[in-house]
């Protein structure tokens, strides 16, 4: 049987993997529409126009470039921690832990969901609904024959699950060769081989983030497109690192979205972690600068800086990431020590062009793939691994603080594959 995707493959490969901008812009619009935000009043920063366009999902982002140079970069003054060193003299405010009762909910429904079971069973429980799991599960529940049709159907299932044409073709053609060489006794043996190949694809990128305790503070800069879960991930990381005994500070560098600063402060309050903030519309680089100064002065182990979501096509906003990095580098030439890009697992193949652009602008050193629970197809993780080889540090498998797992190639693959093989 020649699958639908086999027929479409050449066309899709040309459009999707060679960076067809028209297709990309449709994906971007869909993404922006999926995470609508009320456009805020435009500030003095020309970047606000880009942000407003992105948040309103107008598709005007390509025209709304902010061409002006980023605002004046703060100088390393040797001033005390938290000192105002900006053109805008708004002092940085360090939020001390507050009563938990005052903390707003993490999100509308996060509180009501049952916690994921710890360890590998949590992966399977959360990823069962993924497109990947459903596609292959349906296939193997029919006891298929070991033949070319089965490989075509596997190919369709993988592409449908966002694995991408290049990665899928590589996997399937290798399995086909092995089948022709009579390596497999039956379909189950083929599935076992598929599992091994999927794990082998992910193993090189399953490299946990190691906090270098000799570097103090170890600075993590989080970046990503709007609404992918950056602030939520920072909250989860704060909980994790605090539990591991690290002294922490957070920098509320998402100064665009009205609720982002409050959201981060809520996470800080809940976990007893100080948050450096200057409020909405402050210069993100200056927040990062103040926060690093404060973290150094206090001897904090880990500083995690949030940034506003930005579409990867918005050149002015992408350049702002470079500015934040440069400003951090004035206080510590080795900072940031990790540029952690958060990617929404439901984004599909558009995640590849996002990562390409963010990597070019900010030098991404690690990934967090979020929202792998629920409706995510899961396959994009394989496409990212194959194309970039950038370490995948964590997987977000829910909204609760404990729903951030160190990325584990075997646990992830087993959670996606039919029950009889997966031992997660």
Per CB under 6 A, which of residues 186..225 are in contact with ligand GTP? 224
Near ligand GTP by CB under 6 A: residue from 13, 81, 98, 110: 110
Contact 321, 361 (CB under 8 A): yes
- How many of the other CB atoms lie within 10 Å of CB of 110? 14
Please report how close the Cβ of residue 226 comes to ligand GTP at its closest, in angstroms.
4
Annotated binding site: 224-231, 306-310, 370-373
Of 390 and 395, CB closest to ligand GTP: 395
Please report how close the Cβ of residue 342 comes to ligand GTP at its closest, in angstroms.
6
Does 170 engage in binding with ligand GTP (CB under 6 A)?
Answer: no
Task: Quote the CA–CA distance of 369 and 409 in Å, as a whole number.
Answer: 13
- Stated as kind and residue range, the H or E segment containing 251 is strand 248-251
Contact 66, 323 (CB under 8 A): no
With vertex at residue 46, the alpha carbon angle to CA 41 and CA 50, rounded to the nearest 5 degrees, is 75
Residue 267 half-sphere exposure toward CB, CA atoms < 13 A: 32
Task: Quote the CA–CA distance of 247 and 274 in Å, as a whole number.
Answer: 10
Does 319 engage in binding with ligand GTP (CB under 6 A)?
Answer: no
Q: Is the peptide bond before 77 cis (omega within 30 degrees of 0)?
A: no
Report residue 160 as tokens. Answer: 């449908």
Residue matched to tokens 């880990």: 302
Site string for ligand GTP, 236-275 (x = CB under 6 A): ------------------x--x--x---------------
Report residue 332 as tokens. Answer: 């510590």
Pairing of strands 93-95, 274-277: antiparallel
Please report how close the Cβ of residue 302 comes to ligand GTP at its closest, in angstroms.
19
Site string for ligand GTP, 271-310 (x = CB under 6 A): -------------------------------------xx-
Residue matched to tokens 């000799």: 214
Please report how close the Cβ of residue 399 comes to ligand GTP at its closest, in angstroms.
4
**At 281, is the secondary structure helix, strand, or coil?**
coil
Phi and psi dihedrals of 235, rounded to 5?
A: -60, -45
Of 59 and 329, CB closest to ligand GTP: 59
Please report how close the Cβ of residue 52 comes to ligand GTP at its closest, in angstroms.
13
Which of these segments, 92-100, 241-249, 280-288, 397-405, binds ligand GTP (CB under 6 A)?
Answer: 397-405
Of 215 and 315, CB closest to ligand GTP: 315
Of 16 and 235, CB closest to ligand GTP: 235
Annotated binding site for GTP: 224-231, 306-310, 370-373
| Distant-in-sequence, close-in-space partners of 41: CB < 8 Å, separation ≥ 6 | none
Near ligand GTP by CB under 6 A: residue from 160, 286, 354, 370: 370
* Number of chain residues interacting with ligand GTP (CB under 6 A): 24
Contact 415, 422 (CB under 8 A): yes
**At 18, is the secondary structure helix, strand, or coil?**
coil
**At 182, is the secondary structure helix, strand, or coil?**
coil
Please identify the residue of the shown chain whose CB is closest to the bound ligand GTP.
309
380-404 residues labelled b (16+ CB within 10 A) or e (exposed) = bbbbbbbbbebbbbbbbbbbbbbbb
Task: Quote the CA–CA distance of 168 and 189 in Å, as a whole number.
Answer: 19
Of 98 and 110, CB closest to ligand GTP: 110
Of 232 and 286, CB closest to ligand GTP: 232
Please report how close the Cβ of residue 156 comes to ligand GTP at its closest, in angstroms.
26
Report residue 239 as tokens. Answer: 């909980």
Of 31 and 260, CB closest to ligand GTP: 260
Does 375 engage in binding with ligand GTP (CB under 6 A)?
Answer: no
Near ligand GTP by CB under 6 A: residue from 135, 217, 398, 401: 398
Near ligand GTP by CB under 6 A: residue from 47, 160, 231, 353: 231
Does 354 engage in binding with ligand GTP (CB under 6 A)?
Answer: no
Task: Quote the CA–CA distance of 394 and 385 in Å, as a whole number.
Answer: 13
Site string for ligand GTP, 121-140 (x = CB under 6 A): --------------------
Q: Which residues bind ligand GTP (CB under 6 A)?
A: 107, 110, 224, 226-232, 254, 257, 260, 308-309, 370-371, 373-374, 396-399, 403
């Amino acid at each position: 049987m020649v699958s639908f995707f086999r027929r479409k493959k050449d066309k899709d490969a040309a459009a999707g993997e060679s960076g067809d901008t028209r297709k990309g812009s449709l994906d971007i619009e869909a993404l922006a529409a999926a995470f609508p935000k009320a456009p805020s009043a435009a500030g003095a920063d020309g970047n606000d126009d880009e942000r407003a366009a992105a948040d309103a999902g107008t598709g005007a982002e390509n025209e709304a470039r902010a061409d002006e140079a980023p605002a004046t970069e703060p100088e390393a003054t040797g001033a005390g921690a938290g000192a105002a060193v900006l053109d805008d003299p708004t002092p940085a405010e360090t939020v001390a832990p507050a009563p938990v009762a005052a903390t707003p909910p993490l999100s509308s429904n996060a509180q009501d969901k049952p916690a994921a079971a710890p360890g590998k069973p949590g992966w399977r429980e959360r990823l069962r609904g993924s497109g990947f799991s459903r596609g292959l599960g349906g296939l193997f529940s029919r006891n298929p024959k070991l033949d070319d049709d089965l490989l075509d159907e596997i190919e369709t299932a993988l592409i449908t699950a966002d694995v991408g044409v290049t990665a899928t073709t590589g996997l399937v053609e290798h399995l086909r060769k092995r089948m022709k060489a009579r390596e497999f006794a039956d379909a189950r043996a083929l599935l076992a081989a598929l599992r091994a190949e999927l794990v082998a694809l992910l193993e090189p990128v399953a490299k946990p983030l190691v906090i270098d305790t000799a570097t103090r503070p170890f600075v993590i800069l989080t970046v990503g497109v709007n609404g992918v879960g950056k602030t939520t991930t920072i909250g989860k990381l704060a909980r994790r690192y605090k539990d591991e005994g690290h002294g922490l500070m957070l920098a509320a560098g998402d100064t665009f979205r009205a609720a982002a600063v409050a959201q981060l402060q809520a996470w800080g309050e809940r976990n007893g972690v100080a948050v450096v903030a200057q409020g909405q519309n402050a210069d993100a680089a200056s927040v990062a600068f103040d926060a690093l100064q404060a973290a150094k002065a206090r001897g904090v182990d880990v500083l995690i800086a949030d940034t506003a979501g930005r579409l990867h096509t918005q050149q002015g906003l992408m350049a702002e990431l470079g500015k934040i990095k440069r400003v951090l580098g004035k206080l510590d030439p080795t900072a940031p020590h990790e540029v952690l890009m958060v990617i929404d697992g439901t984004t599909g193949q558009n995640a590849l062009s996002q990562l390409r652009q963010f990597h070019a602008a900010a030098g991404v050193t690690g990934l967090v793939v979020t929202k792998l629970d629920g409706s995510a197809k899961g396959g994009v993780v394989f496409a990212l691994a194959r194309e970039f080889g950038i370490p995948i540090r964590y997987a977000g498998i829910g909204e609760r603080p404990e729903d951030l797992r160190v990325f584990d190639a075997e646990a992830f693959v087993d959670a996606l594959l039919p029950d009889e093989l997966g031992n997660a």
